[in-house]
Structure formats: C-alpha cells, structure tokens
A and B are shown apart, each in its own frame.
Chain A
Amino acid sequence: MFTLPIDILLIFAATTPIVGWIESKLGFKKLCGIYATVGLALSSYALYNLSMQALQNPILAPSDAIPSQSCLRIDALSIFLASIFIFLGFFVAIYSIKYMEKDSEISLYYALLLAMISGMMGVVFAGDFFTLFVFWELMCITSYVLVAFRKKHWEPVEAGLKYLVMSSAGSAAILFGLSILYGLTGTLKFVQLSKTFVLTSNVWGYVSLVFILTGFGVKAAIFPLHMWLPDAHPAAPTSISALLSGIVIKTGIYAIIRSLFLIYFPINFSWQTALMVISIMTMCFGNLAALLQDDIKRLLAYSSIAQIGYIFFAISVAITQTDVTIISYSLTAALLHVMNHAVMKGLLFLCAGAFIYKAGTRSLRELAGIGHKMPITATMFTVGALAISGIPPLNGFVSEFMIASSGINSGMLVPTAILLANFLLSFAYYLRLIKIIVWSVPSKKLEKTNEAPILMLFPILFLALSCIIIGLYPNPFIDMANKAAWSLLKY
C-alpha cells in the first residue's frame, strides 16, 4: 500500500500487542523486543531492495496515480534519510530490550516505536504535502505518547503535555499554510507545485511560507520555537530520547528544505538573511545553555539545538547562493551532518542511558567518575563526545569542516566566524563532560555499579564503530549525500 518498508513496519506495529499478549502467557520477557527488532530488520532489507531502483530513477507509488491523486515519491534524498531512520531505529530497538525490561506494557512501547519510525519514513517518502502531513501526525502523536510513557512520574507527563501543546499548534500552523498554498495553486502535489507555483508579487505566498516555516520549525526546534525540546527529550525514556534527538527533529529539517527548494526557492525577498540570523541564534543559544547544565540528558538536548543551528547554517548558505556548485556543496554538508548527528547523538544518548540504568541518576554531580566502573561504555561515550565536537579522525569533523568551508566559499565571513566560535564552545562543554565522566574520582554511591549488560553494549559499540568508519572513509557517504542534494535541486 505505502511501499514495502512502511507496510512491514505498520503490520509489525499493529501485531506487536498480540505478541505482547502471547508473551504474558508464555512468561518469556524479551519476545516483544525481539519481534520488533525482526520487523525493523525485515523493513531495512525491503528498503535496501527499494533503494536499488530509487537511486536510478525516482519511484512513484502507486505507479499509475492520476494527477490529482495523492502518492508517494521516493528519490535519493528519501532513501538517504529513511536509511538513517531505520539504522538508528534498529539499534534503539535492540537497546530497549534490556533498558525497558522493568517497565510494564512493554508491547505498547514497541508498537508505538515501530509506528513512529514508519511515520518518519512516510514523511520522507511522501509525494504530496497532504500525505506528508498525515504521516507527520502519525509521527507526532506516537512521539507524544512515548515522551509521556512513564506516566507514574510527574516529569514525563508535564513535559509530554508541553510538547503536545506546542507541537500540535505547530501542526495546525502547517495545515493553515498548506490551505493557503492550496488556495493559490489548487494542488498540493510536489511535482505540480514545482512547475506551476510562480511567486512574483503575491503576498499570500509569503504568508504561507511563514506559516509552513513556523510549523515545521517547531519540530526542528529552531530558536524561538525550541522551548519544548529541553524538557521533552530528558523526560522521555533514554532510548526514545536517542530517537527524538537523533532523527525526529531531522524530519522537521527535511520538510523545511523540501518546501524551500521545491516551492519558495524563486522568491526574491530578503528572508534568506532572516534564516541565517535564526540559525546563528539557534546555535549560540543551544551551546550557551548547555555549558552549565547538571543534568546529562538535558545537556545533550541543548547540544541538539546547537547542532540544528549548524545544519540550518548550511541550508541558509545554500539558499542565499546562485552558483549551483556552492548550493549543492552546502546542501551536501547539511545532509551529511544530519546523518552524522543522528549517529553521534544516538551514541551519546545510549551511553547516557547506560549510565542512568546502572547508577539511577541523571545528575552529573552524582555520575562523576562512573567511567572507572563502566570502562567500555565510558570509552564509547568519549568517542561520541569527541566526534560531536569535531575532532579529526571522527565523523563530526568531516561534516563540520564542510559546513564551515561552505560558509567561507560563499563569502559570508562574519557568520562563519561565529560558527567556528560555536564549535569551540561545544568542544568546551564536551570536554567538561568527558572530564566529569572519566577523570573524576568515583563517589561512594557508585561502588556497586558495574559494566552495562551486553544487549546494551552491542548497539553502543556498533554506533561508535560507525562514527570511526564514517570519519576514516567519508567518501561513499559524501557521495550519497551529494546525490541526495542533487535530487533535491532537480525535482
């Protein structure tokens, strides 16, 4: 119905509660987790088969769609992002088998997790704005429930409510912008919009741009709309925080670049500068707020805001330019950083989750010196922290270098200088984090903690390995991101 990878995920999501019932009869605690992992593995295999065709030519599904019918359209950008989603989702599902074992109603957790990933894949596969919106709501609603999953505590409920109010107001703004777009053009399909939508002096085009940017910006947590993120990401179970920080906010970025390059690219208006200012404010705010956090997950959440600022910097460079090589270069940088940030932030959150699982606290003061007790996790945490602050042999360096050089290439020296200062700032607080975790003397409370269980270590080790591999051999990944960027430019 919606191409094989999404269908598999939806079917597995719908049947997981039944498996949960069987699990409760059999008394085998890990059945749901294994079932969900198998579903994600099958779906990634289907995605691999699909990508063989889609990388040559964009696929339309259903292939005989009439012009006004809503459809899916899968091109290189969709494949690039969907494979990131399913990659991180697979490891998070493995990690959750151990991490979530003490929670009740675990089958619902996996059903929601699979539905959320299928929603994200639907967002990147969509061929018209309304299909995008429906999958967007699927992703949003499941993520509200997942943030408030541990409803016995006050924190997830409060954070979930705050997240729900802000994010659904954003969704309503998207719908309002889409309605104006529909009124202007009579269609919401990407293919027809890119051909027919010519904005010369129509003020309603700008109005729809403002509404759509605001709505998607809430999800992407750009500066004035970020307030839900530092609450919602720490309050969720850590495996979900890894998904939220790693990939859910990236769907906002995807939707923004898709609509900007598809529809609003030809506008002659100085809103590009506004986007640049917003990106710089986003990264400055995220980094400054992360400097003195005591809560480890809150620190990582603020750092996510800063990374979104970096990605937006590259996008706003691409928007201001007219030379197509610079545009494709900076878009490649942005997309590569989307991938790298998903891997690095996923790794950092999963390591933080392992610390929290063993020590039972999120406060950095109480976690000080836990690296002595959990050497493998702490080493991998250090790899992730060094990667995200841009140390050369690791993957963060590649994309951050590309973002900075795209800023220099386009001649925007002052914003690039601020960007470099922000890189240094983020290095400062990640060094502080490494110092607290690894070099401090462990307190008495941590005496009994030991190394994380193997099911949690496996995803951590694999993500750290992919950090190193992408850092050492970035070329295939850069090619892939470049192809995705070109599929965006030549719709």
Chain B
Amino acid sequence: MIMLDYYIVFSIVLFFVGIYCLATKRNMMRIILGIEILINAANINFIVFSVYRTEGFVDPLAHSIVIVSIALAGCVTAVALALVVYAYKHYGTLDVRKLKRLKG
C-alpha cells in the first residue's frame, strides 16, 4: 500500500496550487476553477483518511461528507458563474483586474 504521507503532501500541494491560482490568475473562469481545486484538495484528504484510519475498514462517514461537499461546491460554482455573466455584461471583459472601481 502507498504510504499515507504521499497523499497528504499531494493534497497540501494541491491546496497551495489553488491558492496560487486565486492570487495570480486574471481570468475570472480560472479563479472559479481555483476555488474548485481548493475544495477538491480537502475532499481528497477526507477520502484518504477514511481508508487509512483503521486497517481493513473504510469509514462511510467521510464518503458521505465528500458527496455532500461536492454538491455544495457545485452550488457555489453556479452562483459564481452567474455573477461572472453579469460582470461580463457590465465590464465587457473577463479580466478580474479591470474590476477595481471599488476601493476595498
């Protein structure tokens, strides 16, 4: 069996790939993909731990958590895509750096 450490390193790297994507990408669609990557990193963690916690037993709790969290991520993405459509109508671009009329 592959060691647990590799999986955890993989999911943490995936999480930081998502953070990098949010921080540097200009296209709004890519930013939404970045959010998806972040959520999937957490999902992979849940699945891995469900297998590795006890020898020869797969915890069904983590699987149900992951299924629900995938559905929630879908909802977030739907709202985000709708907002991107409206932002495109107002600004005529998908470049997120053009959206800086607010001072924040």
Instruction: List the A side residues contacting B18 at CB < 8 Å.
Output: 169, 172
Q: With A164-B83, A179-B49, A183-B45 given, is the CB distance from A157 to B76 under 8 Å? A: no
Nearest-CB distance from B22 to chain A (Å)? 6
Which chain A residues numbered 149 to 180 have a C-beta less than 8 Å away from chain B? Answer: 151, 154-155, 157-162, 164-165, 168-169, 171-173, 175-176, 178-180
Whether the Cβ atoms of A130 and B49 lie closer than 8 Å is no
Contact of A168 among B35, B48, B84 (CB under 8 A): B35
Whether the Cβ atoms of A183 and B102 lie closer than 8 Å is no
Q: How big is chain A's contact interface, by range?
A: 35 or more
Nearest-CB distance from B49 to chain A (Å)? 4
Q: With A134-B68, A168-B80 given, is the CB distance from A161 to B28 under 8 Å? A: yes
Nearest-CB distance from B50 to chain A (Å)? 8
Instruction: List the B side residues contacting A155 at CB < 8 Å.
Output: 101-102
**Interface residue stretch chosen among A94-102, A140-148, A414-422, A433-441:** A140-148
Whether the Cβ atoms of A176 and B72 lie closer than 8 Å is no
Give the nearest-CB partner of A184 in chain B. Answer: B49
Which chain B residues numbered 61 to 101 have a C-beta less than 8 Å away from chain A? Answer: 61-62, 65, 68-69, 72, 75-76, 79-80, 83-84, 86-87, 90-91, 99, 101
Which chain A residues numbered 94 to 153 have a C-beta less than 8 Å away from chain B? Answer: 130, 133-134, 137, 140-141, 144-145, 148, 151
Q: Is the C-beta of B53 less than 8 angstroms from some C-beta in chain A?
A: yes
Contact of A183 among B49, B69, B83 (CB under 8 A): B49
Whether the Cβ atoms of A230 and B80 lie closer than 8 Å is no
Q: With A141-B76, A144-B79, A148-B86 given, is the CB distance from A172 to B35 under 8 Å? A: yes
Q: With A137-B76, A176-B45 given, is the CB distance from A186 to B35 under 8 Å? A: no
Give the nearest-CB partner of A166 in chain B. Answer: B22
Nearest-CB distance from A27 to chain B (Å)? 29
Whether the Cβ atoms of A230 and B104 lie closer than 8 Å is yes
Whether the Cβ atoms of B42 and A176 lie closer than 8 Å is yes
Nearest-CB distance from A160 to chain B (Å)? 6
Contact of B102 among A144, A162, A165, A178 (CB under 8 A): A162
Nearest-CB distance from A157 to chain B (Å)? 5
Contact of A164 among B34, B62, B76, B99 (CB under 8 A): B76
Number of A-B residue pairs at CB separation under 8 A: 113
Q: Is the C-beta of A400 less than 8 angstroms from some C-beta in chain B?
A: no
Q: With A154-B101, A172-B18 given, is the CB distance from A183 to B42 under 8 Å? A: no
Instruction: List the B side residues contacting A210 at CB < 8 Å.
Output: none
Contact with A along B1-38 (1 / 0, CB 8 A): 00000000001000100110010000010010011001
Nearest-CB distance from A442 to chain B (Å)? 28
Give the nearest-CB partner of A167 in chain B. Answer: B76
Would you list 20 pairs from A and B whose C-beta atoms are within 8 A, ordered by A residue?
A: A137-B75, A148-B83, A154-B101, A155-B101, A157-B87, A158-B101, A159-B102, A161-B28, A162-B102, A169-B35, A175-B42, A175-B69, A176-B11, A178-B42, A179-B45, A183-B45, A183-B52, A188-B65, A228-B104, A231-B103
**Chain B residues in the interface with A (C-beta under 8 A):** 11, 15, 18-19, 22, 28, 31, 34-35, 38-39, 41-43, 45-46, 48-49, 52-54, 59, 61-62, 65, 68-69, 72, 75-76, 79-80, 83-84, 86-87, 90-91, 99, 101-104
Known pairs A134-B72, A141-B72, A159-B102 / 20 extra A-B pairs, C-beta < 8 Å: A130-B65, A134-B68, A137-B75, A155-B102, A157-B86, A158-B101, A162-B99, A168-B35, A169-B22, A172-B15, A173-B38, A175-B39, A175-B43, A176-B42, A179-B42, A182-B46, A182-B65, A183-B45, A183-B52, A186-B54
